[in-house]
């Protein structure tokens, strides 16, 4: 079997799918890429047994079809330094010896038997189909990913929950301290359905989607999901279990509303949080008419800081404590120029929303308060 392929084309496709491969694998074959040549198209696959990512590219010319596996580390390192030029692959189908010829030299390496490579699972007959525009899906994953948990006891919290209805799709993530609910009315399903996408495939999609145009086709059943993009196809295991009722934790009536410039608030929080206790990162927000005082102190080291910002606020004076790192994370994952912080009392969650929602979107972020000692 012999084929000629562009060096940079092959390298960029292999690099994109290589993020799936774990540093330590239970099966040695999972350290490899699977390469399959069929009718002039080279199909490339990488897997960690739970997530399989595949892509394809056209070869310049080919002689014969076949499949083989090759060490991902070796081939990536070998191709990294080769400038754009045609590469000629010759594969001996009997002993799987691979020769790669380039302009000034050649590589010889051993392939592995492709039959050992695990097959991606097929979906059941009850699979649900949904289509989402790539930019819409990227926005939803980008906003929600930071709020996912790392909780071995409650695995359902370790992913992004896709809540699909006939009117909208909602991306939800929460780690028990912060919660993101990003509802989009641009996409919807034909029926009510839901699944929990684990963090690793969500991160892979976050890296692949910026280069994609068009729609993402999602097909899923109780156990697995298939994401079909323009240039890539990903099959992944879903997190099984019931996601908590996220709407029940969002307070509906928040009489205290603060409107403030987002970037100005982030800068002030960054400056003041330097002086907060390293153990708790607690910062205190004190609200009074049209101003907000941000303060922090570390009693152990006798350091403190406070800063006052102008905002729009007309309610009663009140104080509330938050973990500064979480609050900065939330503000960084919003894009609006101004945000509204909605509060009920110092013991109930604060809701943060953009002052102006983007068209056909409804983004809400929630942060649990920390106890103040005063």
Q: What is the pLDDT along the chain (374 residues), one digit of tens a residue?
A: 899 999 999 999 999 999 999 888 888 888 999 999 998 899 999 999 899 999 999 989 888 888 899 999 999 999 998 999 999 999 888 888 999 999 989 999 998 888 888 888 888 888 999 999 999 999 999 999 999 998 888 899 999 999 999 999 999 999 999 999 999 999 998 999 999 999 999 999 999 999 888 899 999 999 999 999 998 999 999 999 999 999 999 988 888 999 999 999 999 999 999 999 988 999 999 999 999 999 999 988 899 999 999 999 988 899 999 999 999 999 999 999 999 999 988 889 999 999 998 889 999 999 999 988 76
Length of the chain as a residue count? 374
Domain that holds residue 143: 128-247
Q: Are residues 241 and 262 in the same domain?
A: no
Distances from the Cα of 226 to the Cα of 33, 182, 199, 203, 215, angstroms = 19, 22, 15, 15, 14
- Consecutive H or E run containing 298: strand 291-298
Q: Is 171 inside a domain boundary?
A: yes
Q: What is the pTM of this model?
A: 0.89
DSSP assignment of 167-232 equals S-EEEEEE-SSEEEEEEESS---SS-EEEEEEHHHHHHHHHHGGG--SEEEEEE-SSEEEEE-SSE
Q: Are residues 217 and 281 in the same domain?
A: no
Q: Are residues 107 and 27 in the same domain?
A: yes
The backbone torsions φ and ψ at residue 248, rounded to the nearest 5 degrees and listed phi first, read -70, -20
Q: Is 74 inside a domain boundary?
A: yes
* Last-in-domain residue among 213, 247, 281: 247
DSSP assignment of 102-129 equals ETTEEEEEE-B-GGGSPPPPPP-TT-EE
Counted domains in the chain: 3
Q: Is 373 inside a domain boundary?
A: no
């Amino acid at each position: 079997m012999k084929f000629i392929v562009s060096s940079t084309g092959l390298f960029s496709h292999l690099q994109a799918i290589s993020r799936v491969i774990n540093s330590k694998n239970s099966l040695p074959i999972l350290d490899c890429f699977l390469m399959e040549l069929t009718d002039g198209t080279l199909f490339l696959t990488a897997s960690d047994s739970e997530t399989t990512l595949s892509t394809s590219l056209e070869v310049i010319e080919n002689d014969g079809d076949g499949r083989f596996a090759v060490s991902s580390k070796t081939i990536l390192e070998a191709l990294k330094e080769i400038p754009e030029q045609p590469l000629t692959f010759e594969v001996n189908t009997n002993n799987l010896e691979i020769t790669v010829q380039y302009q000034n030299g050649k590589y010889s390496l051993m392939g592995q038997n492709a039959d050992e490579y695990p097959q991606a699972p097929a979906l059941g007959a009850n699979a649900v189909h949904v289509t989402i525009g790539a930019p819409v899906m990227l926005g939803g994953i980008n906003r929600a990913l930071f709020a996912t948990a790392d909780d071995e006891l409650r695995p359902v919290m370790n992913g992004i929950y896709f809540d699909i209805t006939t009117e909208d799709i909602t991306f939800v993530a929460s780690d028990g301290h912060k919660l993101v609910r990003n509802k989009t009315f641009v996409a919807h399903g034909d029926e009510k359905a839901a699944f929990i996408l684990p963090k690793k495939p969500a991160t892979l999609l976050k890296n692949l989607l910026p280069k994609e145009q068009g729609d993402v086709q999602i097909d899923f059943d109780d156990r697995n999901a298939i994401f079909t993009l323009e240039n890539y196809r990903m099959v992944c295991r879903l997190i099984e279990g019931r996601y908590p009722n996220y709407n029940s934790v969002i307070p509906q009536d928040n009489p205290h509303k603060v409107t403030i410039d987002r970037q100005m608030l982030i800068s002030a929080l960054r400056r003041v949080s330097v002086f907060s206790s390293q153990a708790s990162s607690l910062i205190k927000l004190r609200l009074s008419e049209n101003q907000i005082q941000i303060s922090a102190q570390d009693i152990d080291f006798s350091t403190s800081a406070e800063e006052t910002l102008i905002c729009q606020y007309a309610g009663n004076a009140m104080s509330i404590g938050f973990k500064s790192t979480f609050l900065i994370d939330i503000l960084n994952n919003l894009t609006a120029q101004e945000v509204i912080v909605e509060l009920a009392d110092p013991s109930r969650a604060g809701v943060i929303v953009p002052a102006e929602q983007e068209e056909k979107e409804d983004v809400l972020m929630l942060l649990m308060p920390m106890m103040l000692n005063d």
